[in-house]
Chain A
Amino acid sequence: MANSSISPLALLRAELIKLKHSPVWYILLLGILLTASGVFLGHLMDAHNMVKLNIDPWQRYFKVSLAIFNLFIVVPYLLLLVSSTVFIEQRADAWKYLYALPSGRGVFYITKLVLILLLYLFSLAMLIVGLVLSGYCLNIFLPEYEFTYYQPDLLNLIEFMRHFFIASLGLIAWQYWLSLRFKNILVPLGIGVFGFVLGIIMSATGQKIALYFPYALPMIVKDMDMFRNEYITPSFINGLNNVELHSIAFFLVFGLLGYWWENNREVV
């Protein structure tokens, strides 16, 4: 297909218009609230097992929060985010309109993928805000842990998020292609849930195959004291570990495969 002369920014703005009143925002909000409120309530009910007195509570608080996010939230959240973003087009039967435009198909494929990545980045950023706010709220009920006395280590938190983000790329590209491939939302979600369960089993039992399974990669990218992940080895490329490298490789493979498939499929 021919290249587009439409500016990428105009296309991205168009994508944002489509999100108006769409379930994507609710999914985004739900992901953040579920993590922040879950961690908040967990600490409120069982604080003495989660944080220690007289030491910086933020480190332990963030670690527990991210472990919960890592295991229970991130994969299902990404499944919903990707599928529902693509389903906006499926529901409107919009491909026949979009692909009849002069721009060609590739630009729509790339713009939608960029939108998903930006939404994921945005939700990770909002999660940082949510976790910090919930930590300060916790101080109202549990002042003895002195959340206000210590400063949250935001740089460390951002570093964690960066690893999550990179380790999720392979899963995003795969799930994106699946969502484009099937016209309904249930099939890609069903495959995704199956992959999520397999990913948990592989990660929890320390199977090395998890390194080659996109659904498991976000769960094992950082040692959260939950799984045996001794197979994560330091890498030689700019501080990326092997889990992240595998994720980037999956992203490139599935991203290109999806691009080719989308450019060549018949729109019936």
Chain B
Amino acid sequence: MSILSVSNLHFSYTKGQPILKGLNLNVPENSIYGFLGSNGAGKSTTIRNLLGLLTPQSGEITLFGKTNPHKDRSCYRQVGSLIEAPSLYPNLSAHDHLRLACRYQQVSSDQIMPVLQKVGLWQHRHKASKKYSTGMKQRLGLAIALLHEPKLLILDEPTNGLDPQGISDIRDLIKLLCEEGKTILLSSHLLTEIEKTVTHLGILKDGQLVFEGNQAALEEWKAKHLKLAIRTNDQDRANVLLTSAYQVQSTKDYLYLQLSTESDIPVIVRQLVTEGLDIYEAKLVRSDLEGLFMELNKDNTNHGQ
């Protein structure tokens, strides 16, 4: 069941220059939905539309079953958000920020301690936020988003500017939140982070979703995109021999062959050996999310399931 769905969403800042061009997406309940796209693809614009910070020109947003929630914002009680850098008042401490959030979200201040402990800021709760590191600021932003126990968490580039440890901490926290039953929409342009974290994936290109699916769909795509890198004593001859049966891409060091299954590998090796070629190296190259991303950014084929 989708907790958030978007249908045919259009948005432009300037007339004639659309940013979102009929975007469709579905975020299933209790998923970590990776929202991937290169810079300028429209990720932040989509998220700002979802949160009612921007008004869509056309299309439909359904949040917790309510259509066009920006007209009646009551369902945003179940949403927590962190958009890029968190909104922090430099003179206020973590504790002050959460006191503020308690008033805005109408929750008891008893919630402050557990949420600060969860993000690891309890020890630093009285320090002014201007003295925090980037990672601490991001964690405080997360604490503010989590304070009222939202069912849906919308995070736009939450690992921006973080060091590897900070990125890992945020990733662990996101996984923990999903285990606790929350749904997370995670926007990022960091492919490896998305790949390590998400259960579902949507890839945005030029304001449209060009791929949407779960991990199984991603694995299926990967299985279909196997490549064999091969190096022999005569690359030109090997190229001529294999071109008729396989799609071959030649580089300085390797010939890359597009395979349909792993069982193609021994067939290729036997053929080359039979033709008297010496094989120095043959290795399987599995396509990763980066491969998918690059491919989708080359062509506009919809791989959605």
Residues of A participating in the B interface, judged by any CB pair closer than 8 Å = 1-2, 5-6, 10-11, 13-14, 17-18, 20-22, 88, 91-104, 266-268
**B91 interface residue, CB < 8 Å from A?**
yes
Give chain B nearest CB distance to A266 CB in angstroms.
5
Q: Is the CB of A266 within 8 A of B55?
A: yes
For chain B, residues 62 to 90, give those with C-beta under 8 angstroms from any C-beta of chain A: 70-77, 79, 81, 83, 85-90
Q: Is the CB of B103 within 8 A of A20?
A: no
Q: A101-B104, A266-B13, A267-B48 are in contact. Are A96 and B83 (CB under 8 A)?
A: yes
A100 CB contacts on chain B under 8 angstroms: 51-53, 76, 79, 81, 83
Give chain A nearest CB distance to B140 CB in angstroms.
12
Nearest-neighbor residue (CB-CB) of A4 within chain B: B73
| Cα–Cα, bound, A211→B272 (Å) | 96
Cβ contact of B96, chosen from A1, A6, A17, cutoff 8 A = A17
Q: Is the CB of A102 within 8 A of B90?
A: no
Q: Is the CB of B100 within 8 A of A104?
A: no
Nearest-neighbor residue (CB-CB) of B80 within chain A: A100
Q: Is the CB of B73 within 8 A of A102?
A: yes
The 5 closest A-B pairs by CB, nearest first: A97-B87, A267-B53, A21-B91, A102-B76, A14-B103
Q: A100-B51, A102-B77, A268-B13 are in contact. Are A6 and B103 (CB under 8 A)?
A: yes
| Cα–Cα, bound, A97→B51 (Å) | 10
Q: Is the CB of B90 within 8 A of A92?
A: yes
Question: DSSP majority for the A interface?
Answer: loop
Give chain B nearest CB distance to A164 CB in angstroms.
30
Q: Is the CB of B106 within 8 A of A10?
A: yes
Q: What are 23 A-B interface contacts by the 8 Å CB criterion?
A: A2-B72, A6-B104, A6-B106, A11-B103, A17-B92, A17-B96, A17-B100, A20-B91, A91-B89, A92-B87, A96-B48, A96-B53, A96-B87, A97-B81, A97-B144, A98-B104, A100-B53, A100-B79, A101-B105, A102-B73, A103-B73, A267-B48, A268-B53
A1 CB contacts on chain B under 8 angstroms: 70, 73
Cβ contact of B104, chosen from A20, A103, A267, cutoff 8 A = A103
**B99 interface residue, CB < 8 Å from A?**
yes
Q: Is the CB of B74 within 8 A of A102?
A: yes
Write the B89-113 contact mask toward A (1 if CB under 8 angstroms, else 0).
Answer: 1111000100110011110000000
B79 CB contacts on chain A under 8 angstroms: 100
Cβ contact of A93, chosen from B54, B85, B100, cutoff 8 A = B85
B77 CB contacts on chain A under 8 angstroms: 102
Nearest-neighbor residue (CB-CB) of A13 within chain B: B103
Given pairs A13-B103, A18-B100, 18 additional interface contacts (CB within 8 A)? A2-B71, A2-B74, A6-B104, A10-B103, A10-B106, A14-B100, A14-B103, A17-B99, A20-B91, A20-B92, A21-B92, A88-B89, A94-B87, A96-B51, A97-B144, A101-B73, A267-B54, A268-B48
Nearest-neighbor residue (CB-CB) of B53 within chain A: A267
For chain B, residues 11 to 63, give those with C-beta under 8 angstroms from any C-beta of chain A: 13, 48, 51-55
B71 CB contacts on chain A under 8 angstroms: 2
A13 CB contacts on chain B under 8 angstroms: 103
Give chain B nearest CB distance to A161 CB in angstroms.
30
Q: A96-B53, A96-B83, A266-B13 are in contact. Are A104 and B103 (CB under 8 A)?
A: no
Q: Is the CB of A91 within 8 A of B90?
A: yes
Q: A6-B103, A13-B103, A103-B104 are in contact. Are A266 and B73 (CB under 8 A)?
A: no
Nearest-neighbor residue (CB-CB) of B74 within chain A: A102
| Cα–Cα, bound, A2→B70 (Å) | 8
Give chain B nearest CB distance to A68 CB in angstroms.
32
| Cα–Cα, bound, A104→B104 (Å) | 11
Nearest-neighbor residue (CB-CB) of A10 within chain B: B103
| Cα–Cα, bound, A247→B70 (Å) | 35
B88 CB contacts on chain A under 8 angstroms: 92
| Cα–Cα, bound, A268→B241 (Å) | 57
A266 CB contacts on chain B under 8 angstroms: 13, 53-55
Cβ contact of A99, chosen from B53, B74, B86, B90, cutoff 8 A = B53
| Cα–Cα, bound, A82→B128 (Å) | 24
Q: A13-B103, A100-B53 are in contact. Are A93 and B73 (CB under 8 A)?
A: no
